[in-house]
Amino acid sequence: MSAAMCLSETLLTGRARVDPVDALIARSARCSDPRSTYAPLFFSENPLDAARAKAICARCTVREQCLSRALERGEPYGVWGGEFVVDGHIVNIRRTRGRPPKKPILMVVDEVTGVASVA
């Protein structure tokens, strides 16, 4: 379906057409939450929040599909499928504001409590 057809369908019905793969991911993902309480973790500037988001993704059953769809859509930013995505590309180390530490700190974060331990 073309972008123009999707736009006209959205204007006529008031609802955007959702890809079936995206609907499956939305139903099955561990981060799926009707109240969107997890959403800030996946788009946070805080390294601890991002590590917690990656911990949530680590045991997700649709992790690979989530990552591949995010790359296809060219997601601008966030944790998708357990990886940092910036401008539609996976980045290994997300650059934070300020001066980088001389020695990177590896963290292991509990996905439920958000408590970090240094690895």
- Going by pLDDT thresholds of 50, 70 and 90, the confidence category of residue 1 is very low
Q: What is the pLDDT of residue 96?
A: 64
* Residue ranges of domains in the chain: 3-118
Q: Please write the tens of the pLDDT for every residue from 37-57.
A: 888 999 988 888 888 999 999
* pTM, to two decimals: 0.68
Q: What is the pLDDT of residue 62?
A: 93
Q: What is the pLDDT of residue 82?
A: 92
Residue 35 Cα to chain centre, angstroms:
16
Mean pLDDT of 114-119: 66
